[in-house]
Amino acid sequence: MHRDVCGHPNTLADTSSVAAEIIGHDERPGDAELAQPIQLRPLTTLKWPYIPEEPSYPDPLKKDDHKPLQLWQYEKIASSASLREHLDSNPQLKIVLRSLDTMRGQERELALEFLLGVHGSSHEPPNTLPEGIDQITIKQFEALAKIIQGIVTTPNAPTEGLVIERD
């Protein structure tokens, strides 16, 4: 049958027409109405940060230091549906994240401290953040940080979590 369908002994048959015939007979009325999933970019096309290799012999003096994210954690962040939904429902966050991505050093730290509510006595946003940052955007950014924290923490890892308290 394969050779009859394709017409040449060394080529593979086009199975899509055969599958279409089979599916066509069993098709339900509501199947055409289902939404098509959004085509995502491959993870290999993303710009990944530098991730240092784990040392063969860990330094006991650094065991309690903060650890950089590992590749599997970046992959979980990049493929998280809940994170994507949160970003899609809050377009202002994309602007804030792009702005943070262009910053370096102290200005980035000040902007992150302001957005996470650990900015100390200053209640004014740094001038490096885009205009229009309001309390709603700050709450959305805090929710984004908590989503990311939930993605990267493992159930067995002891952690106190992200505590954000507002007056």
The structure tokens listed for 132 are 């229009």
Domain identity same for 95 and 27:
no
Task: For residues 105 and 23, state if they share a domain.
Answer: no
Give the least confident one: 76-80, 124-128, 138-142. 124-128
With the CA atoms of 73, 74, 80 and 82 taken in that order, what torsion angle do they form, in degrees rounded to the nearest 10?
80
Report if residue 163 sits inside a domain: no
Are 23 and 53 contained in the same domain?
no
pLDDT digit string, tens, across residues 57-88: 888 888 888 878 888 888 888 888 899 999 99
Is 8 or 129 the better-scoring residue by pLDDT?
Answer: 129
Please state the domain count of the chain.
Answer: 2
Kindly state the tokens that stand for 166.
């507002």
Residue 29: domain span: 2-33
Q: Which residue has the tokens 């209640």?
A: 123
Do 20 and 47 belong together in one domain?
no
In a domain, 82, yes or no: yes
Q: Which two three-digit tokens encode residue 11?
A: 């080529």
User: Distance between CA atoms of 86 and 80, rounded to whole angstroms?
Assistant: 10
The rounded distance, in Å, linking the Cα atoms of 75 and 92 is: 24
Mean pLDDT, to the nearest integer, of 150-162? 62
Does 159 reside within a domain?
Answer: no
Is 104 contained in some domain?
Answer: yes
In a domain, 166, yes or no: no
The answer to whether residue 78 sits within a structural domain is yes
For residues 24 and 47, state if they share a domain.
no
* Same domain flag for 27 and 47: no
- The answer on 125 and 74 residing in a single domain is yes
Q: d(Cα 6, Cα 3) in Å, to the nearest integer? A: 5
Residue 140 burial by CB count (10 A; 0-12/13-18/19+): exposed, middle or buried?
buried
Identify whether the C-beta of residue 140 lies closer than 8 Å to the C-beta of residue 90. Answer: yes
- Please say whether the dihedral angle defined by the alpha carbons of residues 7, 9, 10 and 16, taken in this order, is positive or negative: positive
Residue at 38 is within a domain = no
Residues 21-40 have pLDDT tens digits of: 434 444 444 444 556 667 77
Same domain, 90 and 109: yes
